[in-house]
Amino acid sequence: MLTIGALVFPKFELLDLFGPLEMFGMHPKTFDIRIVAEVSEPVASTQGPRAAVDTLTGSATKFDILLVPGGAGVRHEIENQALLGWLGQAAADAKIVTSVCTGSALLARAGLLDGLRATTNKRAFDWVASLGPATHWQRRARWVEDGRFITASGVSAGIDMALAVIARELGPDAARDAALWAEYLPNTDPEDDPFAAD
């Protein structure tokens, strides 16, 4: 069983979080999903609906996989030193660290992407890249894998990234099954980025 710590903060992006979690949740005997936040009360997304919290960042819980979504709230959280400190500590213990969209800004701000290849949302690309000048940002990528760090570009790319993680951990058949059960047509090529400018 691999425990997933899925971070939420005020104004996180709904699909950044729940798109990947839907895929992981297709294999409940392998992935134990926990919503993590700094506060115990439900956390509101950018779109309004709230996520119930399972685990606090202040706990000593360790996670095998971290999932960091993006969203409008990232612009506030990049100054949250307590959260960035938790990310650094949690990432040190994790087998795999993932982000979706501007979630990579939090990883970059915490210094976790220094010297690594990474990507982020196209519409916020230059801003996110400015937060991690030591990161090798990839503008054309559906998602980027660099060792145990996996970053996805725009919002829906997190679903493809999650399937890539499932394939890495359980094999390609398990990833295909998850996509089939969700009736989702996956992009299995991280360099096939239909949203990148030519």
Is the predicted pLDDT of residue 7 greater than 90, yes or no? Answer: yes
* pLDDT value, residue 187: 94
Domain that holds residue 21: 2-181
| Prediction pTM value | 0.96
Nearest to 15 by CA among 53, 76, 67: 67
193 located within any domain: no
What type of residue sits at position 187?
N
> How many independent structural domains does the chain possess?
1
Query: Is 194 part of a structural domain of the chain?
Result: no
Judged against a pLDDT cut of 90, whether residue 196 lies above it is answered with no
For the cut 80, the answer to whether the pLDDT of residue 14 exceeds it is yes
Stretch 10-31: mean pLDDT = 98
pLDDT at 149: 98
- The answer to whether residue 190 is domain-embedded is no
Residue 195 domain-assigned (yes or no): no
Q: How confident is the model at residue 95 (pLDDT cuts 50, 70, 90)?
A: very high
CATH code where residue 163 lies: 3.40.50.880
Question: What gap in Å lies between CA 83 and CA 75, rounded to an integer?
Answer: 13
- Does residue 144 fall inside a structural domain? yes
pLDDT category at 54 given cuts 50, 70, 90 is very high
161 inside domain? yes
**Which of 96, 93, 110 has its CA nearest to residue 67?**
96
Q: Which of 58, 39, 59, 42 is nearest to 50 (CA)?
A: 42
Q: What confidence tens digit (pLDDT) does each residue in 136-162 have?
A: 999 999 999 999 999 999 999 999 999
How would residue 198 be classed by pLDDT, with cut points 50, 70 and 90?
Answer: low
Residue 186: inside a domain? no
Distance in angstroms (rounded) separating the CA atoms of residues 24 and 175: 9
Considering the domain boundaries, does residue 10 fall inside one?
yes
Give catalytic residues, as residue numbers. 101
The β-bridge partners of 5 are 34, 66
